[in-house]
Amino acid sequence: MLTWSEPADWDTCARDGGSAVGADGALRLATSHLITHEPGAFSTQHGEELFQHVQAQVCFTLGSTRPQWADCYFYAREERDNRWPLQVTVNGYAQSIGSGTPLAGEFVWYHVRIPQEALIAGENVVSFACASPAANAWILSVDTSVPNGHSRKSTDGGQSWTTAGLGLEGALSGEYVVRLRVREHPAQGAITSSILNVETLFQSAPLVLHWHAVTPAGTRVALRYRTGTLQDVENAAWLDVVNAAASIDEEMDSHPDSDAGQTLREHDEFGQAELPQPVGPCVQWQAELRSSDGGASPVLRGMALLPKDGSPDKMWPVGKLSSAESKATPSYTFTHQDPAESKLALLRKQERLDEIIAGGATQWEQMLALRSWVAVQWVHRAPHEFRRCCPWDALTILDWMRADRGHGQPQPDAYCTHYAVVLAQCALALGWPARLWVMSAEPTLHTNGHFVAEIWSTEHKKWVMHDADTDSHIERGGVPLSVLEIHDAWRDEGLHELQVIAGANADKVKIGPDWIEEMLPLGLYRFCGLVLRNNHLSTLIPGPVEHGWTTYKWDGFLWYRDGPEPELPFFSLSSNRRADFDWPPEE
């Protein structure tokens, strides 16, 4: 019998952002969810000046259940020497952010807490106003990559509103970068098991799926399954599981997730269903938790899969199944670069990459040679708002920086982000799996950030971090580490066990390994986000705009967190499941 009832069991399953594992080992809907209308593709040239006549609004739709509270996050800049407060009003409930904030002069995330009494079912209007007589106080950012459906502007002090003509000169269309994290359960969340080779485990015996769920009023757990071969089961259609022998106990209980702890009627369900034959050699199940009441969540306490006539006493820990018995899948889709992309071959030939790595006797030595070469292809140029930032395309980055001109402007910027991009794309051109990471030491993400590449090492059988900006990597006991292994060392106060290893050209770069050694104790790897695609050579869209110039705002990174709650609440994607990050390249 296979069972799922502990956090380690659920971690073998893929989970979307709507579900979470509690301290008691049971699965529930997440305690909050983020409402956003834009991905954060914001350019510093696209802002709305808020002053006496110009105001801004964003509308958010909430369900019938009033949340406990909501946090409004908005991406804005207070001008230096400003003396005018910013008024943020939600459905008539007004709050002020005073002038002279600590990060004035920078685009950063600002935040106001909205109490329960200010929130209503249906449309909630968040308004921004400033009494400054001139456009010299506050700028609210505009994402022009999406159509406008929720943002409005007034040019007559709030007397009338329009969705057209955003921005200082009225030439922009898009959404204001304003997000709402609501303290209530989302409407649904799903968990999907790994692909189980039941033919190997159970010798093709008929299978029975068992479950234990607690469903307060307004909630339910919907189960489905699919079967097939290891290669095609992920493309098979889902089939509903029909409860053939439910045992339901109904009791009145004070539900901890409900408003004011009101009494709800709970169903304690012990269900089972035989999976119709033939099930195929592999099977996968999925449980979808649903709620029409944001204050209540269904609870999935356990799942079990066993042969119809098998003994329930013989159990296999799902976390210890072999790769032949179980195939774990990431919770989030990663878009891989097509190896047939012609620009990969062009990059390999134009930059003579095979000659660069020819001296390496092993793949690892070749990686080090490639990284050291990338490190000295240009001199690190820090971001500046009046210069052009290089796009995430290795051919363009190398061309612009060698010519010292790009997009019709002199001195384009290329810094840690671009060293990582060039390294990753050169690795892909050589046939090595590679991906990108963003990180920061600060929860505000406004400073002390960095950007690196990871390359899959066949010798070490894992992802290894390579920092081409400083020409270095990090080891522990002679073993090179991944991004999250470095994060773990920082979290567990084990940085003293790490060594920053300098590359062959580390003495020639502008920012060397000494900077890494200085920044590691300050938490450089505290917040780490995986870029969920590496096909930027084929298309730059979707992707962050001017990444590194300003505080991170792109909502397409998957952030690693240590605990059950989002640590960066203004972003949609986060996970504490290591399988969402440590997957091998073939995944």
Number of domains in the chain: 3
Domain end position, chosen among 159, 182, 205: 182
Report how far residue 125's alpha carbon sits from residue 138's, in angstroms, rounded to the nearest whole number.
Answer: 19
242 and 385, same structural domain?
no
What Cα–Cα distance (Å) separates residue 251 from each residue in 24, 26, 39, 264, 295? 20, 19, 44, 9, 18
204 and 122 inside one domain: no
CA distance 573 to 527: 13
> Domain for residue 334, yes or no?
no
Residue 491 lies in a domain: yes
Q: Which of 479, 476, 431 is nearest to 456 (CA)?
A: 431
Whether residues 321 and 392 fall in one domain: no
The answer to whether position 19 is within a domain reads: yes
pLDDT digits (tens, 9 = 90+) for 481-520: 999 999 999 999 999 999 999 999 999 999 999 999 999 9
Structural domain range at position 420? 342-580
Q: Is residue 587 part of a domain?
A: no
Residues 163 and 251 in one domain: no
Q: What is the identity of the amino acid at 124?
A: N
Give the least confident one: 15-24, 193-202, 243-252, 448-457: 243-252
Domain match, 199 and 172 both = no
Question: Is residue 46 over pLDDT 90?
Answer: yes
Strands 574-575 and 557-560: parallel
Per-residue model confidence (pLDDT) at position 315 = 61
Above 80 in pLDDT, residue 266?
Answer: no
CATH number, domain at 286? Answer: 2.60.120
Q: How is 332-381 classified by DSSP, letter by letter?
A: S--BPPPTT-HHHHHHHHHTTHHHHTTT-SSHHHHHHHHHHHHHTSS--B
Q: Using one digit for the tens of pLDDT, what is the confidence trace for 176-195?
A: 999 999 999 999 999 999 99
**Domain closes at, from 134, 156, 182:** 182
Buried b (16+ CB within 10 A) or exposed e, 60-71: bebbebbbbbbb
Environment class of residue 235 by beta-carbon count within 10 Å: exposed (0-12), middle (13-18) or buried (19+)?
exposed
Q: For residue 336, is it within any domain?
A: no
Q: Is the pTM of this model over 0.85?
A: yes
* Whether residue 18 is found in the same domain as residue 42: no
- Is 78 inside a domain boundary? yes
pLDDT of 265 reads 53
Residue 167 lies in a domain: yes
pLDDT at 96 over 80: yes
Q: What is the mean pLDDT of the chain?
A: 91
Q: Are residues 163 and 256 in the same domain?
A: no
Residues 149 and 194 in one domain: no
Same-domain pairing of 291 and 414:
no
Asked whether residue 22 is assigned to any structural domain, the reply reads: yes
Return d(Cα 11, Cα 422) in angstroms, integer: 34
Residues 229 and 113 in one domain: no
Q: Are residues 67 and 197 in the same domain?
A: no
Same domain, 243 and 300: yes
